[in-house]
Amino acid sequence: MPIWEYDGVMARAATTSDVFNAIAEPQRREILVLLRGGERPVTELAGELGMSQPRASKHLRVLREVGLVRDRKAGKQRLYGLDARGLRPVHEWTGGFERFWNESFDRLDAYVQDLKQARQED
Amino acid sequence: MPIWEYDGVMARAATTSDVFNAIAEPQRREILVLLRGGERPVTELAGELGMSQPRASKHLRVLREVGLVRDRKAGKQRLYGLDARGLRPVHEWTGGFERFWNESFDRLDAYVQDLKQARQED
DNA sequence: CCATCATATTCCCATATGGGCATGCGTCAA
DNA sequence: TTGACGCATGCCCATATGGGAATATGATGG
């Protein structure tokens, strides 16, 4: 059921709801990194990452549903390839905070004594 | 229990396990965006985002646990402020795919074109 | 058609939500 | 001291995992 029609008790959003949720899982991020090296069949991915085949397939399904990977048949195999376009929004969203992690903290909140103190304790 | 000691049945990782999980929730991202405008007390955040106070507090707790926000007491209130440093790793990780969302996909498109062409030649 | 290899799915579990509501708690003012 | 105000928590729910194991599906070669 589409989330916008759902009005019952809410739980954590599906991993397939968007890219942010999809990449929240470390192993899925590893898969994406591996795929930068080119297309690979499921079994190979599973092997390189030391995970079972069903596990790899499940993660790949999530990635496919949010559009981060594409698959094509290659004989008996199914090759998965990267489609990183969906990562761009995440990159841009975080980029919107760039000046905040570059600016010195005391300038950001120059009047905040507590933060200055916390910084000295580092 | 720390996840590295956990060996039972695994479920989805905690939202407090890392920044990736923390920002997977849309409302938490909204909170962070709002905080770019400066420190704010819980009630004000809740009001501006149209959410209940307990809800805002819970999200803020998650953000605090992964270090994306800091809080300090200000009399009766508790002011929350942004600490965006934790977003940098996310920005850099996604940045590692930058050339792929530009370049490599053209190659995939080219592949699709080849398929179409091959089909016409049949 | 059958045996086999490559994947995808289905079950079953225990856990971690995200929300609402009620309530505990610390701080400040009268 | 006693309220009142601002926040944090505790409880209860229904949902969505991430995993393992077993099994269904698919595609290929004989």
> What does the pLDDT look like over B63-110, one tens digit per residue?
999 999 999 999 999 999 999 999 999 999 999 999 999 865 555 555
CB contact under 8 A, B29 and A21: no
> What does CATH list as the number for A1-82?
1.10.10.10
What tens digit of pLDDT does each residue of B35-52 get?
999 999 999 999 999 999
Q: What is the mean pLDDT of chain B?
A: 84
Between CA B3 and CA A48 the distance in angstroms is 22
Between CA B97 and CA B106 the distance in angstroms is 14
The whole-number pLDDT of residue A105 equals: 58
The whole-number pLDDT of residue B102 equals: 85
Q: Which of the following CATH numbers is that of domain B19-120: 3.20.20.140, 1.10.10.10, 3.40.50.360, 3.40.50.300?
A: 1.10.10.10
Nearest by CB: A87 against B32, B82, B94: B94
CB contact under 8 A, A95 and B97: no
- Indicate the domain borders of chain B: 19-120
Higher pLDDT, A109 or A59: A59
B contact test, residue of A52, A100, A116 with most B CBs within 10 A: A100
Detail the protein residues whose CB sits closer than 7 A to any atom belonging to strand D. A 1, 8-9, 11-16, 21, 24-25, 27, 51-52, 54-55, 58-59, 62, 73, 75-76; B 9-13, 41-44, 53-54, 56-58, 60-61, 71, 76-79
Percent of chain A exceeding pLDDT 70 equals: 78
Q: β-pairing, B40-41 with B77-82?
A: antiparallel
The whole-number pLDDT of residue A120 equals: 37
Between CA B108 and CA B94 the distance in angstroms is 20
What tens digit of pLDDT does each residue of A2-35 get?
444 445 678 899 999 999 999 999 999 999 999 9
* Structure tokens that stand for B98 in this block: 């930058």
CB contact under 8 A, B90 and A94: yes
Task: Look at A34-43, A102-111, B32-41 and tell me which has the smallest mean pLDDT.
Answer: A102-111
Nearest by CB: B94 against A91, A98, A118: A91
Between CA B70 and CA B63 the distance in angstroms is 9
- The beta strand positions in chain B, using DSSP E, are 40-41, 69-74, 77-82
What tens digit of pLDDT does each residue of A54-70 get?
999 999 999 999 999 99
